[in-house]
Amino acid sequence: MDKKLNNGNNMNFEDKVKRVKEILESLNNNELSLNEGMALYKEGITAINEAQKMLEEAKIQYEEIKDLSQDAKNIDEGM
Residue 23: what pLDDT? Answer: 97
Using one digit for the tens of pLDDT, what is the confidence trace for 4-55? Answer: 444 456 889 999 999 999 999 999 988 999 999 999 999 999 999 999 999 9
SS3 content of the chain, % helix, strand, coil (to 5): 75, 0, 25
Full-model pTM: 0.71
- For the chain, the domains span 13-78
Q: How far apart are CA 38 and CA 27, in angstroms?
A: 9
pLDDT of residue 6: 47
- What does the pLDDT read at residue 78? 64
pLDDT at 44: 97
